[in-house]
Structure 1
Amino acid sequence: MSYTSEIAARRMALLCRAPLVQTRRQFSTTIAAQKSTTETVKESLKQVDRKVSDKLVDGINVGSAAAQKVAGVAEAGGSKARASAEELRGEAKGKASELQGELQGKASELKGEAKGAAKEAEGKVKGSL
């Protein structure tokens, strides 16, 4: 190998390694993944909405099951069937009102939690300023 080609080869080897050694890391001053107050409230409201929806679906399922029982009993005919149908209707109404009460209680509880979380997050934001 000639002298000039040997020098060129060494310089090329150094040039190839140079960027690997001299790379710099990025520097950022952004706040690390903190949620804003509105995002916290939105998430809380989504959770409330989801739980309310689940309770409503349970109520609908109970109502349809009761309706199927009533329809099955009504097909049997007679006064016993009517009495059973009325009884099942009463049970269905009672269960529906019970679920509605639970639903309203859970919704108000979660609403209070969401308000508390929003106030807490707002306090943290004001405290950090």
Structure 2
Amino acid sequence: MSFLTESVARRMALTSRIVWVQAPRQFSTSIAARKTMTESAKDTIKTVDRKVSDKLVDGINLGAKAAESVTGKATEANYKAAGSAQEIRGKMKANSEELAGRAKGAAKEAEGTIKETEGAIKGAAKDAEGKAKSAL
């Protein structure tokens, strides 16, 4: 064997994944490296796998952002609800105090009316007593 063919044969024996093909150039002795069909398919599958996994990661990130947004809005709604509850409690307390004041006023007014009525009854009783004594 000549030196060139022997070195080419050694190179081909050492590299099992790459098929060496003579370049289609007339005035060159370089050898072009080409991949087999299975290696090309593996590379294509790796590329597709990588793109799919990148999209899945993007989807997971979007899901996490959506969950974070929902959690934030729920927390905000809880704070608003708590604020509304406090506001409603304050209004109810003010209304109950107002109604208690009105009830006290009505009670005082009724008490005054009762005293007036008692006074009128006592006066009428004294008048009746005076009339009864004078009639006797």
Interval of TM-score (by shorter of Structure 1 and Structure 2): 0.3 to 0.5
Specify which structure has the higher proportion of helix.
1
- Higher RCO by CA contacts (8 Å cutoff, separation 6 or greater): 1
Pick the structure with greater CA Rg: 2
Q: Which structure carries more strand by proportion?
A: 2
TM normalised by structure 1 equals 0.40
Question: Given the two structures, how large is their TM-score scaled by the length of structure 2?
Answer: 0.38
